[in-house]
Amino acid sequence: MSQRIVRTWIRRPLTSRVRAETPVGVPRTDRIAYRNQHTASAVATSRVASTAPHESVSATNAAGKRSTFSFYAYVPLAPERTVHLQRQIKRHLGKDMGVLGRIYLSTEGINGQISCPAARTADLAPFFARFEEFCTLTFNEALDHTESFQRLAVNIREQIVRDHVPATKAAIGPAPTALTPEEWHRQLSGEAAAGTHTLIDMRNNYESSVGYFRHALKPDVTRFADEIRILPELVRGKEREPVYMYCTGGIRCTKAGALLRARGFQDVRMLAGGITAYGRFIQRTGQPSLYVGKNFTFDQRLGEDVTDDVVGTCYQCGASCDRFTNCASSACNTLFLQCPTCAKAYHRTCADRRCLDHVRAPTHQSASPPTQEACRWQHRERVDPTIVRARITRNLVALRASGEYIEDGTAQ
């Protein structure tokens, strides 16, 4: 059997220190007012159950330690009501039930991703049913229940999912038609597959880089707001054709589909429960999946397998890879695909010399900031696959040419 060469970078002493860079500020808070036109028609879609109502929270993963769920509802909330709900949720879910995760409240509703102790999952629905606005809330069970969160954050925001569309420019129309995973699968593999239709991935480009529905349009964007902006162009001239759309759990399609309906599109269909619900359908029925690869998630897992297909490649060596990671240098935090071999060779970094210096410094273990210039990026520079791949390629070239790191040729 041939040996595989593992490249590990060994630091040579630097001849000079570099100047520390001033930290980049936090992006400004959105100033978009809640649109009063968003009526109960859009609320109905968010309440379409991907399983029987409350089924997933009554007995799921009983043998495990924790279970991961997502949920959302578009429902008008007064500003003072969001403050009250924030206090109640923090106290009862966090302190009493030990729930971890991230929950957003706004005057347009609620959006949450949580990790709940398996012994308390049956208490989730009764807790939210105490509030009139959330009495029919449906919980979307994850495909993978590995560790997803470390703490609970309940925050009030301008919008539960940011689209940056002012209420004065676009009214929210009726909700799109919500298809169960069974209906979605049947239509896309049957009559819809033979007819004229448009299938749109409402996620970001880095999400679709590791998994997607076949034949879907995958917009090259890094924010939902950007996809909303180009959505009319994607469907121009197709007002009389069925438009299918999907996302992770359904929340983005509920908003985007309503916007299309407001623009005169009559036949807009969304996948209820999103890719997560479709993945459970495939697991349960054994049907050939129309989705290939992994479902990206916005938590510590950074994804869950829907099929065994690996459609991505490592940004550093080009090997097949669907394992997203963040650069181990907290100042950088670049999101990229990295195989286990490269993770070992580059110490889980993007191979920028500054990041390598940071994570290998003795102070890194105590979470101290880097003492030298830090590489800091705006959102698009941090996550866009094309931009990040190009930067990592430059990092590798510079690393080899600098003479500050050498390969030790360790074999395994």
Question: Of the residues 116, 135, 247, 314, which is catalytic?
Answer: 247
User: Which residues neighbour 395 within 8 Å (Cβ) at sequence distance 6 or greater?
Assistant: 350, 351, 352, 353
Alpha carbon of 319 to those of 19, 312, 313, 407: distances in Å? Answer: 36, 9, 5, 19
Is the distance from CB of 98 to CB of 49 less than 8 angstroms?
Answer: no
Q: Is 247 a catalytic residue?
A: yes
User: Cα 193 to chain center, whole Å?
Assistant: 28
Q: Which residues contact 134 (CB under 8 A, 6 or more apart)?
A: 73, 75, 110, 128
What is the spatial distance between Cα 328 and Cα 315, in angstroms, rounded to a whole number?
Answer: 15
Neighbours of 306 (CB within 10 A): 21
DSSP string, 174-191: SPPEEEPHHHHHHHHHTH
Q: What is the CB-side half-sphere exposure of residue 215 using CA atoms within 13 A?
A: 12
| Sequence letter at residue 49 | A
Residue closest to 72 by CA, chosen among 161, 197, 202: 161
- CA dihedral defined by 127, 247, 325, 330, rounded to 10 degrees? -70
Give Dmax over CA atoms of the chain in angstroms.
68
Under DSSP, the state recorded for 393 is H
Q: Can you list the alpha helix ranges (DSSP code H) found in 199-327?
A: 205-208, 224-234, 251-262, 274-285
Backbone angles phi, psi at 116, to 5 degrees: -115, 140
DSSP 310-373: ---B-TTT--B---EEE-SSTTT--EEE--HHHHHHTTTS-S-HHHHHHHHSGGGGGTPPPSSP
List, by residue number, the catalytic residues.
247
